[in-house]
Amino acid sequence: MATNKRGRQSFILPQPPVITHWASIAGKKESEGPLAHAFDHCCRDTFFGQKTWEQGEKRMQQMALETLMEKAKLQKEDIDLVYSGDLLNQCIGSSFTLRNTGIPHLGLYGACSTMAESLLLSALTVGGGFAQRTVAMTSSHFASSERQYRFPLGYGGQRTPTAQWTVTGSGAVLVASSGKGPRITSGTIGTVTDLGVKDANNMGAAMAPAALATIKAHFLDLKRSEADYDRIVTGDLGQVGKEALLALARQEGLNLGGKLIDCGCLVFDREKQDVHAGGSGCGCSAIVLCGELLGKLYSGAWKRILFCGTGALLSPTSTQQGLPIPGVCHGIVIEGGSD
Amino acid sequence: MATNKRGRQSFILPQPPVITHWASIAGKKESEGPLAHAFDHCCRDTFFGQKTWEQGEKRMQQMALETLMEKAKLQKEDIDLVYSGDLLNQCIGSSFTLRNTGIPHLGLYGACSTMAESLLLSALTVGGGFAQRTVAMTSSHFASSERQYRFPLGYGGQRTPTAQWTVTGSGAVLVASSGKGPRITSGTIGTVTDLGVKDANNMGAAMAPAALATIKAHFLDLKRSEADYDRIVTGDLGQVGKEALLALARQEGLNLGGKLIDCGCLVFDREKQDVHAGGSGCGCSAIVLCGELLGKLYSGAWKRILFCGTGALLSPTSTQQGLPIPGVCHGIVIEGGSD
């Protein structure tokens, strides 16, 4: 059997799947941020017309999927498979979105790395000839996350300076075996990395070592360096985590400074929007990818990026039991152009 | 690009990945059941030497992975990727098992369908040449599930006759590009199916329509019938769900009666073990597969089975918000022999 595996953690795609379309749905605060121009829909209703925030999150994912199908002029029957997951317990945002659609679905849990994980699995599935068109999708919602992971919003708890603001948003990407658009050419699957950070209000610091581990593995496996990329994009380290990653990388002789950008730092204006360390959540890297990033790749402004979804694999239970926060990061290489 | 896709939901594996080894860890009640002879380890300590049930569940998965590596004479470095997930919020059983092992990990959420989902993705990954050896793994724990999904055990709540008993157990399967053992030859990815069942104490009924939908899609896509299989094995419908599936199938002219078995009915002795409708949980189909089922396939007693992992995609939040229980079922064809 021909191997597409490279090194310990990476793989290449000899026939690179194409990202032909993408869609993003953004909440109110995100729509007031610096990337609003690139979202498909900016919504001011936190409930998205539903009775609960959890159902609102589901509606957001439905809107992302519907918008994607409209843009691609596809029907449900044309989609072979949806890979999706979210932060809600038992991923109900995703499973209720897909219910009774008739679209085959495989559910994922990668915390905030889910956009990269779903893209990575889409690339393997389409690249292996097992599907022609898959959708990679995820979402997060500030209000449903806050009450699940931290405190009910009505409690009015104060946030620490290292805390991040969960993005309300959903992104969906169509990965196809042929067509025009940016292509997925390789990927690196992350390992669960834990240096002992226990502060659930500083997830950036908990995820930074995982991001470094994946970027290092990617460079080693594919014999590349930061010079091979226009940008290295992390998912949601925020300002604290981004600085931690830069410092950790420097200790190992890697200078990511000129290339590293973070979706959590890009999605909000930290000066004006009172989000402390920046954005987070599955929806953070999803709406930044399905707008700004894929736009720049499509236009040719960027030739090649390494998109690194970062996830903090904690739960309220593990935190209450005094355990540290394991991090994970999956990397996917997307190359530009609309051909 | 050559297509391995068949019909709407299915795929074939031209070079079928091999299940070379498997391992199962069972809890106390499971070890007193009729399949005890086939488990690798029978444990009487509900905490598995840990301080909490959640950590006990993690320890159980670690034991499954360690036992698998011992049986296969492999080191961590020899495993390219672990696909795993569990029922705990944010899948902490799986992520804490993998943390700092250095083994690449992709997390899944498919509720009790996770054993089939992880096998299916392992088959796609190895079959596509993206990995040489992957592990498909999952777990569930009666005590950690009860307090998360229903009531604290100390509350002593009475169980309804349709309720199932979450299996305490973990199973791990090694899927390799070459070697001796049963082979994965095709698969069918399920759709999220919901006929409006709202009783969280009757998950068998909620999952039966999803099982039927996947079995029907499998037969249609691959032009097969129940006659092509020695057994059609559902994950954890239990007695109520199994009877519902048989009745639903009959309505559509399918007679599964002679072929259908259910891991939830096999794992316990319902007469003697007071488990009401039978076993459930990710660990249910996992330990039955990684013992009895793979044993019979390895020995040649069975030539071909359709293994159907069934999952109820509810959460306590969705139940409290009055929503029905979406079901999902993924099917995977395993063919026997040790060559």
CB contact under 8 A, A321 and B15: no
pLDDT for A328 equals 98
* pLDDT value for B263: 98
Among A37, A62, A113, smallest CA distance to A266 is for A37
Model confidence over A97-147: pLDDT tens digits? Answer: 999 999 999 999 999 999 999 999 999 999 999 999 999 999 999 999 999
B9 touches chain A (CB under 8 A): yes
Q: What is the pLDDT of residue B158?
A: 87
Under an 8 A CB cutoff, do A124 and B128 touch? yes
Q: pLDDT over 90 for what percent of chain A?
A: 93
CB count within 10 Å of CB B295 equals 17
Using a CB-CB cut-off of 8 Å, the residues of chain B touching A108 are: 106-109
**Residue A120 contacts B, CB cutoff 8 Å:** yes
B193 vs A contacts (CB less than 8 Å): 99-100
Residues whose CB falls within 8 Å of the CB of residue A247, separated by 6 or more in sequence, listed in order: none
Which of chain A's residues have a Cβ under 8 Å away from the Cβ of B152? none
Interface subset of A 85-104, CB within 8 angstroms of B: 85, 87-92, 95-96, 98-104
Asked if B270 and B240 count as a contact pair (C-beta separation under 8 A), the reply is: no
Question: Closest approach of chain B CAs to the CA of A8, in angstroms?
Answer: 7
What pLDDT is stored for residue A16 in this prediction? 97
Q: Whose structure tokens read 């199962």?
A: B24
Res. A203 pLDDT band, cuts 50 70 90:
very high
Q: Which two tokens stand for residue A311?
A: 């996830």
Q: Is B316 on the interface with A (CB under 8 A)?
A: yes
Q: Which residue of B has its CA nearest to A77?
A: B8
- Residues forming beta bridges with residue A117, ordered by sequence position: none
- pLDDT at A230 exceeding the cut of 60: yes
CB contact under 8 A, A129 and B2: yes
pLDDT for B151 equals 84
Q: Is residue A1 pLDDT above 70, yes or no?
A: no
How many residues are listed for chain B in this entry? 339
Query: What pLDDT sits at residue A87?
Result: 97
For the residues A9-27, what does the mean pLDDT come to? 98
Q: What is the mean pLDDT of residues A41-48?
A: 96
Q: What is the pLDDT of residue A339?
A: 66
Prediction ipTM score: 0.97
With tokens 């096998």, the residue in question is B119
- Contact between B130 and A90 using a beta-carbon 8 Å cutoff: no
Query: Can you give the pLDDT at residue A2?
Result: 74
3-state secondary structure chain A: CCCCEECCCEEECCCCCEEEEEEEEECHHHHCCCCHHHCCEECCCCCCCCCCHHHHHHHHHHHHHHHHHHHHCCCHHHCCEEEEEECCHHHHHHHHHHCCCCCEEEEECCHHHHHHHHHHHHHHHHHCCCCCEEEEEEEECHHHHHHHHCCCHHHCCCCCCCCCEECCEEEEEEEECCCCCCEEEEEECCECECCCCCCCCCHHHHHHHHHHHHHHHHHHHHCCCHHHCCEEEECCCHHHHHHHHHHHHHHCCCCCCCCEEEHHHHCCCHHHHCCCCCEECHHHHHHHHHHHHHHHHHHCCCCEEEEEEEEECCCHHHHHCCCCCCEEEEEEEEECCCC
pLDDT tens, position by position, B238-263: 999 999 999 999 999 999 999 999 99
Task: Band the pLDDT of B339: cuts 50, 70, 90.
Answer: low
Beta bridge pairs of residue A106: A83
The answer for A 12-41 residues in CB contact with B (under 8 A) is: 15
**Cα nearest neighbour of A328 on chain B:** B105
> pLDDT tens digit string along A88-99?
999 999 999 999
pLDDT value for B70? 98
Over range A188-217, report the average pLDDT: 95
Residue B1 has pLDDT above 60, yes or no: no
Measured in angstroms, the CA of B328 and the nearest CA of chain A are apart by: 9
Q: Which of A81, A125, A130 has the highest number of chain B CBs within 10 A, making it the mutation to test binding with B?
A: A130
Residue B157's pLDDT is 85
Q: How far is B78 from chain A (nearest CA, A)?
A: 9
Considering only the beta carbons, identify the residue of B4, B106, B315 that sits closest to A92.
B315
pLDDT digits (tens, 9 = 90+) for B41-93: 999 999 999 999 999 999 999 999 999 999 999 999 999 999 999 999 999 99
Classified as helix, coil or strand, B191 is: strand
pLDDT in tens, A140-177: 999 999 999 988 888 888 889 999 999 999 999 999 99
What is the tens place of the pLDDT at every residue in B191-240? 999 999 999 889 999 999 999 999 999 999 999 999 999 999 999 999 99
- Average pLDDT (A302-309) is 98
Which pLDDT score is estimated for B150?
86
The answer to whether residue A317 neighbours chain B at the CB level (below 8 Å) is: yes
